[in-house]
Amino acid sequence: MKRVTVTLPHDVVEEIDRWEKNRSKFVLEASLRELALRRREELERSLTNPHIESEWVAEQGMEAWGSAADVDDEDLLEPTAARGVRWRENEGWTEVPG
Residue 7 inside a domain? The answer is yes
Helices first, then strands: H and E counts in the chain: 4, 2
Gyration radius of the chain over CA positions: 24
pLDDT of residue 97: 82
Residue 65 inside a domain? The answer is yes
Indicate yes or no: pTM above 0.85. no
Residue 85 inside a domain? The answer is no
pLDDT of residue 61: 73
Mean pLDDT score of the chain: 85
pLDDT of residue 30: 97
CA dist 85 → 43, 80, 89, 90, 95 (Å): 32, 14, 13, 15, 4
Residue 24 inside a domain? The answer is yes
Residue 75 inside a domain? The answer is no
Beta strand spans in the chain (E): 85-88, 92-95
What is the Cα–Cα distance from 98 to 91, expressed in whole angstroms?
19
For residue 3, which of 36, 27, 30, 38 has the smallest C-alpha distance? 27
Averages of pLDDT over each 10 residues, the chain, 98 residues: 94 97 96 96 86 74 66 71 86 85
Q: Number of structural domains, the chain?
A: 1
Q: What range does the domain containing 54 cover? A: 1-69
